[in-house]
């Protein structure tokens, strides 16, 4: 089950990962659902908090030529973030969209505890739903 933590953590960062498949595999092997949920949620949340930290750190380099966002792009992201705010972190679980949202939370200095709260809710709900779907649809295929 420890491997699930690392797969979930990597999946939440800008690295590719497949925590959903790993979670389903371990569930099929008989690992307890609550333990899987806790480990996957913790790992994925930590990965997203790494993104928040990267965003906080990266902001100081915004005027460098190699910075990945132009001043115009950063201003557009800031307007978007101010419009939708921290509640947008409820989408931190979403593929493609989730990672940049957590980086933006860091860039725009959302307090750590508030970022953590939104991210835990989003990630926990996602893994709970995945486990419920596994129970419903994968049970006949396992074993």
Domain map of the chain by residue range?
A: 1-142
Q: How many CB atoms lie within 10 A of CB 143?
A: 7
**Residues 59-104: tens digit of each pLDDT:** 777 777 777 777 787 788 888 888 888 999 999 999 888 888 999 9
Residue 136 has pLDDT above 70, yes or no: yes
How does residue 52 score in pLDDT terms, banded at 50, 70 and 90?
Answer: very high
Residue 126 has pLDDT above 80, yes or no: yes
Rounded to the nearest 10 degrees, the angle between the axes of helix 98-107 and helix 112-133 is 170
To which H or E segment does residue 82 belong? helix 71-84
Check residue 16 and give its pLDDT. 58
Mean pLDDT of 27-49: 95
Residue 47 has pLDDT above 80, yes or no: yes
If you average pLDDT over every residue of the chain, what do you get? 88
Q: Which of 1-15, 19-33, 37-51, 85-99 has the lowest mean pLDDT?
A: 1-15
CA distances from 24 to 31, 45, 106 (A): 10, 18, 31
Residue 1 has pLDDT above 90, yes or no: no
Residue 20 has pLDDT above 80, yes or no: yes
Residue 49 has pLDDT above 80, yes or no: yes
Residues 46, 9: contact at Cβ < 8 Å? yes
End-to-end Cα distance, the chain: 18
Sign of CA dihedral 76, 78, 79, 80: positive
Task: Return the percentage of the chain with pLDDT > 90, whole number.
Answer: 51
Q: Please list, in sequence order, all residues whose beta carbon lies within 8 angstroms of the beta carbon of residue 9, skipping any fewer than 6 positions away.
A: 43, 44, 46, 47, 50
Q: Please list, in sequence order, all residues whose beta carbon lies within 8 angstroms of the beta carbon of residue 73, skipping any fewer than 6 positions away.
A: none
The alpha carbon torsion through 23, 103, 53, 43 (nearest 10 deg) reads 0
């Amino acid at each position: 089950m420890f491997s699930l933590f690392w797969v979930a953590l990597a999946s939440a960062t800008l690295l590719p990962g497949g925590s959903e498949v790993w979670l389903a595999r371990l569930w099929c092997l008989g690992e307890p659902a609550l333990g899987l949920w806790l480990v996957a949620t913790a790992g994925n949340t930590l990965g997203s908090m790494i993104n928040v930290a990267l965003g906080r750190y990266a902001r100081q380099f915004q005027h460098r030529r190699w910075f990945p966002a132009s001043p115009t792009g950063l201003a557009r992201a800031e307007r978007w973030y101010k419009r939708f705010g921290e509640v947008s972190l409820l989408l931190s679980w979403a593929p493609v969209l989730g990672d940049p949202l957590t980086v933006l939370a860091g860039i725009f200095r959302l307090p750590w505890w508030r970022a953590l709260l939104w991210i835990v809710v989003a990630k926990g709900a996602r893994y709970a739903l995945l486990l419920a779907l596994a129970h419903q649809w994968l049970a006949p295929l396992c074993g």
